Chains A and B, each alone.
Chain A
């Protein structure tokens, strides 16, 4: 169903400012962020009738969160698909609002990854308790989070002739934006980054190798943090404090390892066309691309799969800084600094919705003048492996 109809909009946001915050719980971050996001919208705790939770933090999912907040919503949705959870939850809230099941939906994230020193880098991926059909086929080979993504990057290079400097341009672009975002600069300071400045392609390629072909500066940072988003029905959204940011298209998909499959194609190739089809838009019409940058290769594959450029050609597409906020010829990429240079407490999909909203309100620290259309694309799980994709298209009036 094509849906450029203004059914529901993001009306309130709050991003937790600190990236290293040992004295709060993830649940406290979530609850305080919901309160401040409601303030941002001019709504109150009592207005909330839809609770959308990613089962993050200390927990209990939507059930535990309702009790912690002290609310009795008419919709509780606990969808946990890693980093893409909030793109899924936003889509579900739109459907529930359209069906008249709720009017004011909240979703929050809280993570303590930096304080807990939870190594998401060269930690072995997929070693849950108890053993599973997947982990048992992997643990002897010591796969890590980074090497899962590196295998996609290595194949991309082999298949399309992609060069290391093509990937590095993505890291340089997000750092360019991070240096304009005081919270991102403070984050890099608090997280003890060695050399906090704009970086070049050579800086990225000269950083140490983590898992070939991925270098340190192609891997996201690990932080505390979180935030909240409020999505409301049209009649509520018309009367909130800030300009509504309408959800005009959405698509979801999964992909996983398959015999003979192409690991360079992500689930975005399925979710993207659904979302753009609903929004009746082409990628080249968008001003802002908020794309999950767990690693440089994640952005590379998703730019291609969403149709910003042809498969295998992202290197030429991003060349010369095309995706910087002050350049023409493409959308501005991850203007808050992204996961590569601003924050990554766990499920980063929420920040994609928040920065897209700031851009469409005119509130970004790397503001694109007159930005009207944005895509937020979350990738959860492991690229090239079992992963989920959520694409959300947003529009300002």
Chain B
């Protein structure tokens, strides 16, 4: 089972996002005043300043905006910006790809998957090519 570095708490902006991962949900926020999407999570709308935000659940499908493969002695791994279809951009990774440096590119479709961790009840949202 993977053992990634984990988010730490208390951290009030991001805690609801991570709680939602336990339910297999990729959560984002929308402003009730101006309808703007808010991501990454915070307690105010970064378009109009309103504190009145609603939590929504993403379908978890999107496209790779950019991707880099980090060369690491414990195995190369990808980092990526994912543009979710709802319109927010998330920093994550793409897993399950042979030779990621060759086979991962901007523009590829991906879907979220919630990866259990050895030492945490939070699930980490990672992406796979579809």
Contacts and interface: CB of A to CB of B under 8 A. Distances in A.
Interface stretch (A150-158, A229-237, A265-273): A150-158
A152 B68 CA distance: 9
A208 B69 CA distance: 13
Given A137-B40, A141-B79, A212-B68, A155 B8 contact: no
Nearest to A209: B71
A265 to B, nearest CB: 13
B4 to A, nearest CB: 4
Given A131-B11, A137-B14, A158 B106 contact: yes
Given A127-B5, A141-B91, A147-B79, A133 B68 contact: no
B81 interface: yes
Nearest to A210: B71
A263 interface: yes
Interface in B14-58: 14, 17-18, 37, 39-42
A142 interface: yes
Nearest to B12: A133
A260 interface: yes
A154 B66 CA distance: 6
Interface in A123-178: 124, 127, 130-144, 146-147, 150-155, 158-159
A213 B70 CA distance: 9
A172 to B, nearest CB: 22
A139 B67 contact: no
A135 B67 CA distance: 19
A254 to B, nearest CB: 13
Nearest to B91: A138
Contacts of A131: 7-9, 11
A259 to B, nearest CB: 5
Contact of A142 (B11, B79, B101): B79
B89 A133 contact: no
Interface string A239-259: 000000000000000000111
Nearest to B102: A212
Nearest to A258: B89
Interface of B: 4-9, 11, 13-14, 17-18, 37, 39-42, 65-72, 77, 79-81, 83, 87-93, 101, 105-107, 124
15 contacts: A131-B9, A137-B91, A139-B5, A140-B6, A142-B5, A142-B77, A142-B79, A142-B93, A151-B67, A158-B105, A208-B71, A210-B71, A212-B68, A257-B91, A260-B87
Given A141-B92, A263-B65, 6 more contacts: A122-B70, A137-B17, A142-B5, A151-B80, A212-B69, A259-B39
